[in-house]
């Protein structure tokens, strides 16, 4: 693991503003916890929209070292970034899935200082 | 203007050394309101705001000194602050969020085998190939909202629509059972007549025949709706997408064009 991953991880929160697939109460609770904290964070209206626009901000985020992303499925997030030419760091990225994790679990992981990398590494098929 | 050519205004809430922090409840109300409108918002402490400065950035804060180009938050009023952000966006001719639902395919290249089935299937020019003849999504905003049909023809479940309701199309882990189901769907499509478009053409021809015999527009409309419901169920294609398809001749022309593109790409691939 490189030195860049030793610093406090950056925090990115996706509001998935243009769909109702992430439970509203989970999004609200996670955002509330973020706003209650002393942490700097980036919050985006919709990661999909940014990927579609090839927003250069995604490259800055992907290149900035360790990062925690509260959004949806890690496989989807990995390839949304990759589609813009901004691959996420395999060993320095943890995706918190607000579609399936509880608000407490999601905000707990998002604000924890350690990173538990969970991007899919290659083709994975579950039994 | 295509979606990929548009830039968006970013809002930075500066709560660094030269700005008084907002109350937690104020911060949440403001950030939440801006996110609901589709904006990106960064909360900056410890001088991070300076790093974010740029032409597409609007700084907000309770600054101890008035700053040029920054928006001073005095009395806390979310609606007024949002109006100020909207004005800044309009002046900068930034993207107006919410005019397009970001619905488009995302390719999992760990799974993709470059078989070109998606390119051959899509009638709307969403897919293309890069210089290495590798499949890629080229025109996101040509995609039909809520239609996951191309993901159904992918034999490897490599096409995701992150806003889809269920896995593995939404990005959830792919299981062996999913792969079997995806194969079954392709087979069903083949059994129905090669592909859903040829099925649609056949049904359209039959409907024309009925129109001339019956001259009963209500009955014909009901029959058409029944056919579209069946098609929608077979491929999980929203009825409104099927209703908006062009005339049968145009469908055939586009299908042949897409198939030719896919064949050319496959022929150019290294053996």
Say how many domains are in chain A: 1
The verdict on residue B96 lying in a domain is: no
Q: What is the pLDDT of residue B192?
A: 42
Claim to verify: residue B54 and residue B117 sit in the same structural domain: no
CB atoms A46 and B102 under 8 Å: yes
Claim to verify: residue B150 and residue B183 sit in the same structural domain: yes
The verdict on residue A94 lying in a domain is: yes
Confidence band of B75 (pLDDT split at 50, 70, 90)? confident
The per-residue b/e assignment along A73-102, b for 16 or more CB within 10 angstroms, e otherwise, is bbbbbbbbbbbbebbbbeebbbbbbbbebe
The verdict on residue B97 lying in a domain is: no
* Listed residues B64, B91, B118: the one ending a domain: B91
pLDDT at B172 over 50: yes
- The dihedral of CA B50, B55, B59, B63: what is its sign? positive
Q: Using CA atoms, how far apart are residues A49 and B102, in angstroms rounded to an integer?
A: 5
Nearest alpha carbon to residue A77 among A53, A101, A57, A50: A50
The verdict on residue B207 lying in a domain is: yes
Claim to verify: residue B160 and residue B33 sit in the same structural domain: no
Q: Which residue has the higher pLDDT, B224 or B72?
A: B72
User: How many CB atoms sit inside 10 A of residue B168's CB?
Assistant: 26
Listed in sequence order, the DSSP H helices in B16-97 are 24-36, 48-52, 78-91
Nearest alpha carbon to residue A39 among B13, B252, B264: B13
Full residue range of the structural domain in which residue B133 is found: 106-268
pTM here is: 0.86
Place of tokens 């860049």: A4
Claim to verify: residue B185 and residue B61 sit in the same structural domain: no
Predicted complex: ipTM over 0.90: yes
Say how many domains are in chain B: 2
Claim to verify: residue B123 and residue B68 sit in the same structural domain: no
The verdict on residue A75 lying in a domain is: yes
Claim to verify: residue B46 and residue B134 sit in the same structural domain: no
B-interface mutation test, from A36, A44, A90, A100, most B Cβ less than 10 A away = A44
Q: What is the CATH number of the domain that holds B10?
A: 3.40.50
Q: Is B31 on the interface with A (CB under 8 A)?
A: yes
Confidence band of A126 (pLDDT split at 50, 70, 90)? confident
The verdict on residue A3 lying in a domain is: no
The verdict on residue A69 lying in a domain is: yes
Claim to verify: residue B36 and residue B122 sit in the same structural domain: no
Q: Is B127 on the interface with A (CB under 8 A)?
A: no
The verdict on residue A40 lying in a domain is: yes
Q: Give me chain B's average pLDDT, please.
A: 81
Contacts of B164 in chain A (CB under 8 A): 21
Q: Which of A41, A77, A79 sits opposite B107 (nearest CB)?
A: A79
Full residue range of the structural domain in which residue A58 is found: 14-111
């Amino acid at each position: 693991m490189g030195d860049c991953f030793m610093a406090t991880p950056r925090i990115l929160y996706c509001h998935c503003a243009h769909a109702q697939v992430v439970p509203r109460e989970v999004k609200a609770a996670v955002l509330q916890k973020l706003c209650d904290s002393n942490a700097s964070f980036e919050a985006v209206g919709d990661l999909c929209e940014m990927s579609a626009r090839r927003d250069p901000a995604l490259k800055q985020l992907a290149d900035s070292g360790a990062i925690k992303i509260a959004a949806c499925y890690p496989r989807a997030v990995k390839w949304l970034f990759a589609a813009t030419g901004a691959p996420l760091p395999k060993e320095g990225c943890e995706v918190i899935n607000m579609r399936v994790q509880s608000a407490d679990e999601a905000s707990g992981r998002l604000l924890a200082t350690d990173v538990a990398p969970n991007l899919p590494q290659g083709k994975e098929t579950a039994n | 203007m295509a979606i990929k050519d548009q830039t968006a205004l970013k809002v930075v809430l500066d709560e660094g050394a030269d700005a008084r922090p907002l109350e937690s409840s104020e911060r949440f109300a403001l950030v939440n309101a801006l996110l609901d409108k589709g904006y990106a918002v960064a909360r900056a402490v410890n001088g991070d705001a300076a790093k974010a400065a740029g032409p597409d950035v609007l700084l907000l804060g309770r600054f101890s000194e008035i700053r040029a180009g920054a928006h001073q938050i005095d009395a806390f009023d979310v609606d007024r602050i949002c109006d100020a952000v909207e004005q800044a966006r309009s002046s900068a001719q930034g993207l107006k969020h919410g005019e397009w639902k970001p619905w488009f395919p995302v390719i999992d290249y760990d799974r993709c085998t470059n078989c070109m089935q998606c390119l051959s299937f899509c009638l709307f020019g969403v897919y293309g190939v890069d210089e290495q003849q590798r499949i890629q999504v080229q025109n996101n905003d040509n995609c039909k909202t809520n239609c996951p049909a191309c993901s159904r023809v992918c034999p490897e479940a490599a096409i995701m629509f992150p806003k889809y309701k269920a896995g593995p199309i939404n990005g959830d882990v792919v299981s062996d059972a999913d792969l079997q189901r995806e194969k079954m769907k392709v087979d069903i499509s083949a059994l129905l007549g090669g592909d859903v478009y040829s099925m649609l053409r056949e049904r359209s021809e039959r409907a024309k025949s009925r129109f001339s015999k019956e001259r009963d527009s209500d009955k014909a409309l009901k029959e058409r709706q029944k056919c579209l419901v069946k098609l929608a169920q077979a491929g999980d294609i929203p009825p409104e997408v099927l209703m908006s398809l062009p005339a049968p001749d145009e469908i055939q022309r586009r299908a042949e064009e897409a198939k030719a593109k896919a064949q050319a790409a496959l022929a150019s691939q290294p053996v």
